[in-house]
């Protein structure tokens, strides 16, 4: 019995926290978990999609003849566009490849078309950054983080001198923990001539062959000679993609090797190429998009959803009586927890997303119905109420587990295979 009381207390506290987060009256909060004076956890207002708040839709087309680039190159360009607009804090952008030569970008809430186009078409900034002196743990913690480098700082200073007072509003704030200054940029994408994934017949693995321009090779050779054994980060648009260790002095041609799969090596090579030689994109169409659905549609959908939820709750209470009341309470807790998660992430809500959430509330009662029907079967079989409750939960659990596991598997497939990811940290740089 004590165990049940503990669960009751935990669920009550979690529900209270979720209600506080989910309520529209909550402006959110920031939480500094490591004592560095910077918020590590932030709860923001719920962002809405293009169909609800309007914004800008930009259609870009590759400014190269067909056949001179691959679909992977176009996909990488789209990912760079998404990284740039999200990194600058413009909005929760929607970026997708259309056909074999176009990229569609939707920016909810953006009203300055020129700013949107300039941001999207800006050349991606690739940098090789000195991580010397950092421990392996510090290096690992910086993978996929946005860091401030000397090259980025120089660009920000130029913008400030040109009168852009908000240049640093969305700039990365992570500095070198050993110096408190921006990380030192050793090389930029302007000095990169080529990068390709290749197979190593001796080891059976893959590596990335990199070639520098004449201008960059000499300076990079001198720079790396004094940093053998130290990590050198590969940073694209301020995001740390990888941090391989320098094995020896690097000349014009060198390789990045590690425990790469073919996909990981190809992805990193594409990221290097797109940082130095991105597919040039030309502006095909830029349109202002009004809120096609707007607040009225949101209000109508929410009203319909509330009515639907009330009907479901009424059915459960009237048909199952006391167990139905418990199911109704569980359904309310489920709804509040979902709303809290949406705000914590945050999740960009479009009208289809709102509709999907409301439908999920209705389908969430499936487990309760399975349990209740199983309990009724046990009671009809002559079991006592206590035994019927225990058997009902235990025997319905298998069906509930299997149905939810299948849903989780589908979600995992969509999450991991529906987007390209590149993360490499245990690699080394050495001369070719």
Q: Per-residue pLDDT for 277 more than 50? A: no
Helix (H) or strand (E) holding 31: strand 30-31
Share of the chain above pLDDT 70, in %: 78
Helix axes 2-22, 322-344, angle to 10 degrees: 50
Query: Which residues does residue 428 pair with via DSSP β-bridges, in sequence order?
Result: 245, 257
Least confident of 30-34, 130-134, 309-313: 30-34
The tens digit of pLDDT for each residue in 295-341 reads 666 677 778 878 888 888 888 889 888 888 888 888 888 888 888 88
Locate 297 and state its tokens.
Answer: 């549609």
Token pair 């804090």: residue: 89
The tens digit of pLDDT for each residue in 41-81 reads 444 455 666 666 667 888 888 877 788 788 887 887 787 77
Q: Are 201 and 109 in contact (CB under 8 A)?
A: no
Q: For Cα atoms 214, 218, 224, give the angle at the middle one, nearest 5 degrees.
A: 130
Q: What average pLDDT does range 115-129 have in this prediction?
A: 72
The per-residue pLDDT for 31 is 46
pTM of the complete model = 0.51
**Whole-angstrom Cα distance, residue 330 to residue 328?**
5
**Residue 242 vs residue 300, higher pLDDT:** 242
Q: Mention every residue, 6+ apart, whose C-beta is less than 8 A from residue 104.
A: 57, 58, 59, 60, 94, 95, 96, 97, 98
**Which pLDDT band holds residue 383 (cuts at 50, 70, 90)?**
confident
Which three-class secondary structure state does DSSP give residue 102? Answer: strand
**Whole-angstrom Cα distance, residue 395 to residue 374?**
7
**Whole-angstrom Cα distance, residue 200 to residue 208?**
10
Q: Mention every residue, 6+ apart, whose C-beta is less than 8 A from residue 325.
A: 316, 317
**Which pLDDT band holds residue 35 (cuts at 50, 70, 90)?**
very low
Task: Kindly list the structural domains of the chain, giving each domain's residue range(s) and its CATH number in brackets, ordered by start.
Answer: 2-32+294-417 (no CATH), 50-288+424-431 (3.30.1360.200)
Helix (H) or strand (E) holding 118: helix 113-121
Q: What is the DSSP string of 298-328?
A: HHHHHHHHHHHHHHHHHHHHHHHSHHHHHHH
Query: Which residues does residue 250 pair with via DSSP β-bridges, in sequence order?
Result: none
Q: Per-residue pLDDT for 359 more than 90? A: no
**Whole-angstrom Cα distance, residue 300 to residue 355?**
11
Query: Which residues does residue 258 pair with via DSSP β-bridges, in sequence order?
Result: 427
**Residue 227 vs residue 339, higher pLDDT:** 227
The per-residue pLDDT for 24 is 61
The tens digit of pLDDT for each residue in 185-211 reads 998 887 888 888 899 888 888 989 999
**Residue 350 vs residue 108, higher pLDDT:** 108
**Residue 281 vs residue 390, higher pLDDT:** 390
**Residue 47 vs residue 14, higher pLDDT:** 14
């Amino acid at each position: 019995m004590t165990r049940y009381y503990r669960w009751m207390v935990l669920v009550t506290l979690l529900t209270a926290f979720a209600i506080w987060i989910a309520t529209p009256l909550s402006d959110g909060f920031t939480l500094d978990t490591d004592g560095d004076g910077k918020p590590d956890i932030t709860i923001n207002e719920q962002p809405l999609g293009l169909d609800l708040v309007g914004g800008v839709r930009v259609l870009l087309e590759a400014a190269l003849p067909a056949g001179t680039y691959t679909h992977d190159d176009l996909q990488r360009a789209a990912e760079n566009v998404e990284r740039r607009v999200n990194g600058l804090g413009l909005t929760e952008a929607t970026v997708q490849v259309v056909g074999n030569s176009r990229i569609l970008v939707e920016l909810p809430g953006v009203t300055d078309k020129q700013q949107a186009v300039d941001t999207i078409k800006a050349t991606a900034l690739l940098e090789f950054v000195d991580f010397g002196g950092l421990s392996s743990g510090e290096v690992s913690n910086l993978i996929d983080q946005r860091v401030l480098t000397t090259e980025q700082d120089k660009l920000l200073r130029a913008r400030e001198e040109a009168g852009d007072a908000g240049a640093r509003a969305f700039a990365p704030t992570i500095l070198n923990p050993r110096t408190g200054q921006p990380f030192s940029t050793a090389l930029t994408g302007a000095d990169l001539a080529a990068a390709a994934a290749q197979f190593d017949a001796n080891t059976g693995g893959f590596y990335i062959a990199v070639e520098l321009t004449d201008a960059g090779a000499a300076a990079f050779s001198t720079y790396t000679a004094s940093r053998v054994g130290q990590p050198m980060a590969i940073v694209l648009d301020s995001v740390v993609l990888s941090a391989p260790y320098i094995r020896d002095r690097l000349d014009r041609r060198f390789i990045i090797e590690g425990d790469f799969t073919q996909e990981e090596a190809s992805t990193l090579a594409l990221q290097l190429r797109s940082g130095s030689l991105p597919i040039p994109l030309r502006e095909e169409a830029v349109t202002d998009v009004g809120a096609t659905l707007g607040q009225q549609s949101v209000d109508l959908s929410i009203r319909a959803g509330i009515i639907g939820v009330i009907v479901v709750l009424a059915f459960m209470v009237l048909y199952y009586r006391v167990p139905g009341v418990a199911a109704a309470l569980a359904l309310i807790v489920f709804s509040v927890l979902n709303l809290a998660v949406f705000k914590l992430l945050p999740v960009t809500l479009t009208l289809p997303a709102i509709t999907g959430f409301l439908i999920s509330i209705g389908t969430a009662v499936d487990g309760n119905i399975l349990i209740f029907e199983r309990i009724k079967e046990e009671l009809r079989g002559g079991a006592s109420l206590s035994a019927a409750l225990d058997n009902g939960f235990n025997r319905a659990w298998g069906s509930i587990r299997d149905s939810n596991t299948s849903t989780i598997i589908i979600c995992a497939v969509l999450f991991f295979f529906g987007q390209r990811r590149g993360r490499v940290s245990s690699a080394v740089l050495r001369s070719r």
